[in-house]
Amino acid sequence: MTSDSARIHEMNTERIAVTAASGLLGRTVLAELITLSGPENVVAVVRNPETFNSSNIAVRRGNYDDETEMATALSGVDALLMIASPIVPNVDRLAQHTRVVNAARAAGVRKIVYTSVIGGEATSEMLYRPTQQVGRATEALVKDSGMTWVIARNGLYVDLDLRHIRRAAAGDGIYRNNAGTGRCGYISVAELGVALATLMSTDQCTNETVNLTSENLTQTELVGNANDVFGSRVSYEKISIQQCLDKFHAMPDYVKRGEELITMLVGCFECIDRGLFEVSSDFEYVVGRPAKSIREQLEDVRDRHAQ
């Protein structure tokens, strides 16, 4: 797509809902939407409203496993951001997404934006393929829903990779995975929040698929940026797929979250190694300005944590 940094966005005043609004991405998008569209036009849809802290926007109960409840939550909503459900054990994510799309249609939602995944198509033997298949199947559901739509294929969250790099800095100083010298489109959750809020509060990119990424970096380049920003001396080392699986299986917090998540993460690195996550960015086309550099995004993460 052709970038247009001079593009002027006309904000609408429709009621906008965000599902999975209590998560990191959901909360970030909500904050941007409140600024762009006004709190009176923003609805947070969450599983447990009792634990969601918000005094200036509407908060409604909506569960991906309950289509009727979700349809009620989306009553009177014009535009919906459907954030992909998390990978947890024994959950059919495609069935969950289907319920949300059906509920949106039943509630009369006009527009739906779905947060999908970047990348060329993984082959059948690749670990990432099951995750990607859910994303692509959901994209098809959204396109066939009868609503206007945008497929927002998000780059990998640089915030999450940074955690692993910082963990390496506190350990033996070596960040290891199976991504090798492949390049990947990274982006921070904060920059994603800006792009997704823009898509929700304007009629940008109607019936289009966009890649929301910034720079394509190798693991060595990513680690180098983190070293520059945080003053660390981490180096990068490629390991095998099996060694990376073993690495995550030795981490109790990941074992607790389930085998499917571990497989997905190692599968992401496999995609990077094969060049499938090196994609062109549509961020400027969406927002009207280039995405911040990865270094600037890491500085933002650092400064937020310092507050």
Query: Over the stretch 50-100, which tens digit does the pLDDT of each residue have?
Result: 999 887 899 999 999 999 999 999 999 999 999 999 999 999 999 999 999
Q: Is 42 helix (H, G, I), strand (E, B) or coil?
A: strand
- Beta pairing partners, 114: 82, 151
Sequence spans of domains, the chain: 16-155+187-213+280-294
List, for residues 90-143, the tens digit of each pLDDT value.
Answer: 999 999 999 999 999 999 999 999 999 999 999 999 999 999 999 999 999 999
Quote the Cα angle for 123-185-162, to 5°.
110
- Angstrom CA distances, 218 to 183, 223, 265, 269, stand at 4, 9, 16, 11
Contact 299, 158 (CB under 8 A): no
CATH number assigned to the domain covering 16-155+187-213+280-294: 3.40.50.720
Summary mean pLDDT of the chain: 94
List, for residues 231-264, the tens digit of each pLDDT value.
Answer: 999 999 999 999 999 999 999 999 999 999 999 9
Q: Tell how many helices (H) and how many strands (E) occur in the chain.
A: 12, 12
pLDDT of residue 6: 36
pLDDT confidence band for 11 (50 / 70 / 90)? low
In sequence order, the 6+-apart residues with CB closer than 8 A to the CB of 305 are none
